[in-house]
């Protein structure tokens, strides 16, 4: 009897929204990141290929250079290359992520 109650209790705890969100959160970050991200932002978002919005983590540190307006042509080119790199790594357009980080969404 105690065993059944313990199983029911564990099932209930592990099926709470917080536990589900914690398990499903994969941080959107640079593929070459080897250390923990120092500045993470959690947002409910729906990215391409997702059937419904879900809680996702974004490593703000990795996208910080894309949030500033480029001043020189070299900076503009560097940003374009970085956007292309992220798009290739993540397999979707990063503009929705940048919009969230710029608080436009």
Q: Extract the residue ranges of the chain whose pLDDT is less than 50.
A: 5-6, 14-24, 105
pLDDT digits (tens, 9 = 90+) for 65-85: 999 999 999 999 999 999 999
- The string of DSSP codes covering 10-75 is HHHHHTSHHHHHHHH--EE--TT--S--SSEEEEEE--TT-SS-EEEEEEHHHHGGGSSPP-SHHH
Would you state the pLDDT for residue 26? 76
Would you state the pLDDT for residue 2? 58
Would you state the pLDDT for residue 98? 93
């Amino acid at each position: 009897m105690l065993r059944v109650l313990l199983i029911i209790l564990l099932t209930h705890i592990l099926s709470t929204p917080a536990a589900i969100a914690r398990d499903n959160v994969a941080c959107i970050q640079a593929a070459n990141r080897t250390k923990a991200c120092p500045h993470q932002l959690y947002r409910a978002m729906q990215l391409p290929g997702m059937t419904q919005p879900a809680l996702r983590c974004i490593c703000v540190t990795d996208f910080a250079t894309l949030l500033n307006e480029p001043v020189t042509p070299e900076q503009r080119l560097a940003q374009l290359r970085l956007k292309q790199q992220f798009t290739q790594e993540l397999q979707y357009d990063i503009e929705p992520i940048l919009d969230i980080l710029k608080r436009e969404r």
